[in-house]
């Protein structure tokens, strides 16, 4: 399929003109921590949340509030997102990342589906809203998770974009990442897949444009 130089240039200009806030969440640690840090994120519509896997073998899995430790698709008509298991090799100089984009401010409940990590408190919320529903807090979600009889992963990797973050990248609210693989576009509750990086180089924008048009 052929595209005009004008169309490609317009697309690249649009991509480079956009700025996006990325909220970075560290998943696990080299010391073996079973945690997301931070475990509560407030993100505006259009922002992205990037999960950077620092150590261990963890997941990012979306659930409902009432059924933690279970993929959201099991208990609703929402597909949700699932990063798959992300093992981090000892001595790795790059960080695997998984990025979602925020579509609305509905609370998003997240857990790690490795072993009993969900039950042990590896939980996170995006856009918690206790003023609307005082009983739906991260503490309440974690308490429900502690009582879960099983910890289940998603069926397939979906809803976000996998990438690799270089060791010399900043991780203080924004990051630069190179896309290595991505899932198909998936409807989720408040989030959808998007490019993994805050900014796009001209080459990256062109590659993205051509990938979308294939």
Tracing tokens 């924004």 back to the chain, one arrives at 174
With 0.95 as the threshold, say if the pTM is over it.
no
pLDDT digits (tens, 9 = 90+) for 83-107: 999 999 877 888 999 999 999 999 9
pLDDT of 186 > 50? The answer is no
How far, CA to CA in Å, does 102 sit from each of 8, 22, 49, 57, 81? 26, 10, 8, 25, 12
Domain shared by 145 and 183, yes or no: yes
Residues 137 and 208 in one domain: no
Instruction: Please enumerate in sequence order all residues whose Cβ is within 8 A of that of 122, keeping only pairs 6 or more positions apart, or say none.
Output: 34, 35, 36, 58, 111, 112, 114
- Are 101 and 55 within one domain? yes
pLDDT one-digit tens code per residue, 104-136: 999 999 999 999 999 999 999 999 999 999 999
Domain interval for residue 103? 20-198
We report the CATH number of the domain holding residue 100 as 2.60.40.420
| Together in a domain, 122 and 86 | yes
Number of domains in the chain: 2
**Are 175 and 123 found together in one domain?**
yes
Q: Give start and end residues of each alpha helix (H) in the chain.
A: 5-17, 138-146, 202-213
pLDDT in tens, 29-85: 999 999 999 999 999 999 999 999 999 999 999 999 999 999 999 999 999 999 999
Residues 117 and 182 in one domain: yes
Do both 176 and 131 map to the same domain? yes
CB 53: neighbour CB atoms within 10 A? 25
pLDDT surpasses 70 at 139? yes
């Amino acid at each position: 399929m052929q595209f005009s130089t004008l169309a490609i240039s317009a697309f690249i200009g649009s991509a480079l003109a956009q700025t996006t806030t990325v909220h970075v969440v560290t998943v696990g640690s080299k010391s073996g921590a079973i945690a997301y840090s931070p475990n509560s994120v407030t993100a505006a519509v259009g922002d992205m949340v990037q999960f950077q896997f620092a150590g261990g073998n963890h997941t990012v899995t979306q659930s409902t509030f009432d059924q933690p430790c279970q993929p959201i698709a099991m208990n609703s008509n929402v597909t949700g997102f699932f990063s798959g298991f992300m093992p981090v090799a000892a001595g790795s100089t790059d960080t695997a990342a998984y990025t979602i984009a925020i579509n609305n401010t509905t609370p998003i409940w997240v857990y790690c589906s490795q072993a009993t990590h969900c039950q042990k408190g590896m939980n996170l919320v995006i856009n918690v809203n206790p003023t609307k529903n005082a009983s739906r807090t991260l503490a309440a979600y974690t308490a429900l998770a502690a009582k879960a009889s099983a910890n289940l992963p998603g069926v397939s990797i979906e809803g976000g974009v996998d990438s690799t973050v270089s060791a010399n990248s900043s991780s203080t609210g924004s990051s630069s990442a190179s896309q290595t693989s991505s899932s198909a576009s998936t409807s989720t509750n408040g989030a959808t897949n998007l490019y993994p990086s805050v900014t796009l180089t001209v080459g990256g924008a062109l590659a993205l444009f051509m990938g979308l048009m294939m």
